[in-house]
Amino acid sequence: MTGTQRRRQLLDVARALFAEKGFDGASVEEIAHRAGVSKPVVYEHFGGKEGIYAVVVDREMDQLLSAITESLSEDMHPRTLLEHAAMALLDYVDTSTDGFRILVRDSPVASSTGTFSSLLSDIASHVEHILGVHFSRRGYDAKLAGLYAQALVGMVALTGQWWLDVRKPRKTDVAAHLVNLAWNGLSHLEHKPKVRR
């Protein structure tokens, strides 16, 4: 294998192991064993468990942040914005289950990598900007966009964590109910919401 191929292989093995056992349960020895290499190969590429974990987490954070921010734009109707954000997160949970498991686990205290809460903060900042534009257009106080962004992102993220394990109801139904709650509020819930994508 070339150095690039070996690095990719080690990242794939480590990603699966961190998803299965978490940071504390995984070891350099097991990463090396599963990859069919010696421990020094892992150390050579990543400097240790913390190094490979940091790269795995950074890759997952970039992938999720890109998926969500690319699904949103200022010219969307606010309800469509909610639907796209909810579906982007749930799509990531569905297609990158190992990655999402890694992101929602506690990262090691000494780690310099991002955490799930910092990722959510990044997403909320992006959503805040878009909501601020919509708030201003509609005569609402744009200073409150941050509060609403945090609430919406938190609601979707926590539901995504729950759905990670239960997988019921279907992904589109989960998104529809999230949007129903966010859009209509508890006092105006639709009886059978559907995503209007």
- Alpha-carbon Rg for the chain, nearest whole angstrom, is 19
Element (H, E) at 164: helix 145-166
Percent of the chain at pLDDT above 90? Answer: 70
pLDDT in tens, 86-108: 999 999 999 999 999 999 885 55
CATH architecture of 56-187: Orthogonal Bundle (1.10)
d(CA 48, CA 10): 12
Element (H, E) at 63: helix 49-70
Give 83's pLDDT tier (boundaries 50, 70, 90). very high
The answer for residues whose C-beta is within 8 angstroms of residue 29's C-beta and 6 or more apart is 39
pLDDT in tens, 126-146: 899 998 998 898 888 999 999
Give 112's pLDDT tier (boundaries 50, 70, 90). very low
pLDDT value, residue 110: 45
Give 158's pLDDT tier (boundaries 50, 70, 90). very high
Q: To the nearest whole number, what is the mean pLDDT of the chain?
A: 90
CA dihedral 41, 44, 48, 50 (to 10 degrees): -120
The answer for residues whose C-beta is within 8 angstroms of residue 184's C-beta and 6 or more apart is 190
d(CA 50, CA 26): 11
Distance, CA of 110 to chain centre: 21
Q: Is the pLDDT of residue 51 over 50?
A: yes
pLDDT value, residue 118: 85
pLDDT value, residue 138: 86
Tokens for 90, please give them: 């749930």
pLDDT value, residue 186: 74
Smallest CA-to-CA distance from 178 within 146, 152, 150, 149 is with 152
Contact 10, 92 (CB under 8 A): no
Q: Is the pLDDT of residue 22 over 90?
A: yes
Look up the pTM and report it: 0.84
Domain ranges of the chain: 56-187
d(CA 76, CA 88): 15
- The DSSP call for residue 110 is T
